[in-house]
Amino acid sequence: MVMKYRVVLKRTDEGYSVSCPGLPGCWSQGATEAEAIGNIRDAIAEYRAAVAATLVGEDVREVDVTD
């Protein structure tokens, strides 16, 4: 399943900082924009895996939300 997340990219002295506002505390960085985007993809996947691990055995539901 493909999911899209909004990310915020900021140019820094060291390269790029990137965060995902929809996932509190999920951020990364990279020397280049491409590296930062690749790193935030990994960070988002790890974030989602950690959340999924905490929900094992719970009654989890999905709801549709429109813009």
Strands 27-30 and 8-12: unpaired
- Cα distances from 65 to residues 41, 62, in angstroms, run 23, 10
**Rounded to 5 degrees, what angle do the CA atoms 21, 49, 31 make?**
55
pLDDT at 15: 97
pTM above 0.85, yes or no: yes
pLDDT at 42: 98
Q: Which residues pair with 18 in a beta bridge?
A: 9, 28
Residue ranges in the chain whose pLDDT is less than 70: none
pLDDT at 39: 98
pLDDT at 66: 92
pLDDT at 21: 97
Q: Which helix (H) or strand (E) holds 12?
A: strand 8-12
Domain boundaries, the chain: 8-53
CA-based nearest residue to 30, from 20, 21, 22, 40: 40
